[in-house]
Amino acid sequence: MGEHTGERWSERAPGVLRLPSGRLVRGRGLRHGLPDGPAPEYGVYLLGSPPPATDWPADWVRWPDFRLPRDRAAAGEVLGRVWERSATERVEVACGGGRGRTGTALACLAVLDGVPADRAVGYVRAHYDRRAVETPWQKRYVRNFPRPH
């Protein structure tokens, strides 16, 4: 129930994205249910309304479908936490369908991991879902996502 076991995601499991550093993050659509395998140790849910309760620690980023986060600074802080925790924990990022908002967040994680911002959407489409990041403003959000110093 959300406790740290040291067990990582399987790279072959559905929705698992390997970042260039080797960190693994699972993206998924909440409408598709919880996949088989170990539970997340931390989750971030990108939704316009509060997410369902989980048995693991989780954060909610208020992020309406096909849009951008309501509070971009807070979203950046949460995504930084996802990136940090993904070094040692099973972390998942999810929205309703698992493509637009989740793909956008995963592309931002790729930027935090060192992928140039103008190539992060392509990276996520190649390694997570070819239809990830659905709108022009989501692509622009990734291109303008602040890189760590």
Tens digit of each residue's pLDDT (9 = 90 or more) over 21-47? 999 999 999 999 999 889 999 999 999
Spatial CA neighbour of 132 closest among 143, 118, 121, 146: 121
Does residue 36 form part of some domain? yes
Tens digit of each residue's pLDDT (9 = 90 or more) over 91-109? 999 999 999 999 999 999 9
Spatial CA neighbour of 43 closest among 82, 101, 97: 82
Does residue 16 form part of some domain? no
* Total domains in the fold of the chain: 1
Residue 122 is part of a domain; what is its CATH number? 3.90.190.10
Q: For residue 58, give every residue at least 6 positions away whose Cβ sits within 8 Å of its Cβ, in sequence order, or none.
A: 42, 43, 44, 45, 51
Does residue 9 form part of some domain? no
Tens digit of each residue's pLDDT (9 = 90 or more) over 70-81? 999 999 999 999
Rounded CA Rg of the chain: 14
Backbone angles phi, psi at 60, to 5 degrees: -110, 125
Does residue 149 form part of some domain? no
Provide the whole-model pTM.
0.94
Does residue 31 form part of some domain? yes
Domain range for 54 is 21-143
pLDDT over 90 percentage in the chain: 87
